[in-house]
Amino acid sequence: MNWLGLFGLDEKIARYRQLAAEAAFAAENRVELLALEWEEEKLRLRRLLVLAVLAAALSVVALIVLSIAVMIHFWDSGHRQAVAWGVAVFWLLAWGGVLAALVKSVQGGRRAFLLTRQELARDWSDLKERL
């Protein structure tokens, strides 16, 4: 004899099993989303490290070249001055480009795990509505 069916508990148990399966599926999806966003964040952090190293290296080069350009500027007349300033401007522009990319990459950190946070916020509001 089916005692659960007699008391109407089999429907409730089936409903709870279905809710548990949906919760497990949702949790699995959230974990996958978190893993994807973590990979993106690791990539951003690697790029940030490379750009920081490049910015530091180019800063040193830019300052050295700028110093040489200033010394050559007062050394003699002729084309040496124009070439020295041209090289200094080139290195300063390269440094500025790397610095701009570094700043942009740092500001991109605000979007880290945005999709996961939005999804969890929706889940939380859905849970509050159900309760």
Tens digit of pLDDT per residue, the chain (131 long)?
566 666 667 777 778 888 888 888 888 888 888 888 888 889 988 999 999 999 999 988 888 888 788 778 777 777 777 878 888 888 889 889 989 998 888 887 667 677 777 888 888 888 777 76
CA distance 86 to 74: 15
What is the distance in angstroms between the CA of the first residue and the CA of the last residue of the chain?
A: 35
User: Can you give the pLDDT at residue 5?
Assistant: 61
Q: What is the predicted pLDDT for the residue at 11?
A: 78
pLDDT of residue 1: 55
CB atoms within 10 A of CB 95: 21
Burial, 110: exposed, middle or buried (Cβ in 10 Å; 0-12, 13-18, 19+)?
Answer: exposed
- Rounded Cα–Cα distance for residues 8 and 5 (Å): 5
pLDDT at 4: 60
